Amino acid sequence: MAPVSLEKLTKVYPNGFEAVHEFDLEVADGEFMILVGPSGCGKTTAMRMVAGLEEITSGTLRINGEIMNDVSPRDRDIAMVFQNYALYPHMTVGENIGFALKMKHTPKSEIEKKVRETTEILGLTEWIDLKPGQLSGGQRQRVAMGRAIVREPKVFLMDEPLSNLDAKLRVQMRAEVARIQRRLGVATIYVTHDQVEAMTMGDRVAVMRAGLVLQCDKPQTIYDHPLNLFVAGFMGSPSMNLFEARLGEGATTLFLGTQKVELPPTVLSAKPALGRFANAEVVVGIRPESLAVAGTATGERTEDLVFFEGDVDLVEALGSEILVHFSTDAHRVEAEGMYSDDAEGLDAGSITQRGEGVARVSPETQLVIGEHVRLQVNPKRLFFFDPVTGLALNG
């Protein structure tokens, strides 16, 4: 019996806006479930419905098998970590953490014991008598975590709990939160905007868009086999290059703008659905890391690779790798609302221009802005999508 199960959960706000549409989700015992999606897609709303802070318009919410739709938040036995932590400013760290226990009329001595244990786990013991206003961002975040874990709830809900931390602390807390969750084995729903958090922290990821769940699976599965254009473009940073293209006769050639790329027969045999798109438009997707400058040794046989050309617009050397922004004459495709607010800013400025792409290449590569460049990719790593429905052409 799943600790949390959402069945066709729908939220229509009083102003008539449908923020969540027939949301289905099962979180297994001890599972870490990540919710991602662009801003405004309904992640917070979904989570607040589970918490009982937002009324459920229709559908069924079960926690440990019990229907919870009309149960008040305080009786759901859930804990939540808020984005801004929502620490009680007039209470000390200890009082903040112990508050929920106090509300359950737990004996004082037991509260004290549990609070002490919790602060030890989180390394907060030193600050137990300070008020939230006197703490650093990272410490506050820990208190918020402490407040959640001290209750030993059935479910953890976390709404972008790390987004207010600076980059370094974020990395540190990311590991810590994941560690604590594993250790406690409590089913968790975790909302994030952060690609790395989405890929690394969760057992499964649910990608949402405009109130709908588009795909819910293991992070690597989603990355390797996105079900549609949107998921393909959303997961991954820098995001997948998506170009308008045409398949030629027999789906053995691909026209990228004016460039003709020969596809080896293995491509069609691996993705027979492409046959239906012979002589038709498709969307082709290439992950930036699948691209390399022609001639680079990638451990792949040259005869397995295909090539196309572009002009270098910008070179960003990140130390461990180089991001090459290039343009081709093939039109770039964007799934609506694909890019989240804080899409790492890498190509935020040029994103809307047509024909632009990004390649992630090894740091030894020497490139000059304006240079004409030949790029190589293993056609096995190409993704194809139906330009009308956006569905991946896999089968």
Question: Which residue ranges make up the site for Mg ion (CB under 5 A)?
Answer: 44
DSSP reduced 3-state for 13: coil
Residue 159 or residue 386: which is nearer to other proteins going by CB? 159
Task: Check if the beta carbon of residue 247 is closer than 8 Å to that of residue 261.
Answer: no
386 is an interface residue for other proteins by CB under 8 A: no
Q: How far apart are the first and last CA of the chain?
A: 33
Q: Which stretch binds other proteins (CB under 8 A): 47-55, 162-170, 219-227, 314-322?
A: 47-55
**What is the total count of residues that contact other proteins (CB under 8 A)?**
36
Q: Which does 52 bind (CB under 5 to 8 A by kind): ligand ATP, Mg ion, other proteins, none?
A: other proteins
Cα–Cα nearest to 94, from 156, 153, 149, 147: 147
Binding site for ligand ATP (CB under 6 A): 13, 15, 17, 19, 37, 39-45
Residue 195 or residue 241: which is nearer to ligand ATP going by CB? 195
Residue 36 or residue 87: which is nearer to ligand ATP going by CB? 36
Residue 23 or residue 99: which is nearer to other proteins going by CB? 99
Q: Given CA atoms 246, 306, 272, 359 in this order, what sign does their dihedral have?
A: negative
Shortest distance (Å) from residue 11 CB to ligand ATP = 8
CA distances for 88 relative to 83, 100, 116, angstroms: 14, 12, 18
CA distances for 14 relative to 6, 55, 210, 219, angstroms: 21, 11, 17, 35
Residue spans of beta strands (DSSP E) within 210-305: 212-217, 241-247, 253-256, 259-262, 281-286, 292-293
Q: Which does 42 bind (CB under 5 to 8 A by kind): other proteins, Mg ion, ligand ATP, none?
A: ligand ATP
80 is an interface residue for other proteins by CB under 8 A: yes
CA distances for 313 relative to 293, 316, 371, angstroms: 14, 10, 8
Residue 154 or residue 381: which is nearer to other proteins going by CB? 154
Shortest distance (Å) from residue 315 CB to ligand ATP = 32
Residue 193 or residue 325: which is nearer to other proteins going by CB? 193
Q: Given CA atoms 168, 170, 175, 180 in this order, what sign does their dihedral have?
A: positive
Q: Which residues bind other proteins (CB under 8 A)?
A: 1, 48, 51-53, 55, 64-67, 70-80, 82-84, 86-90, 99-100, 103-104, 147, 151, 154
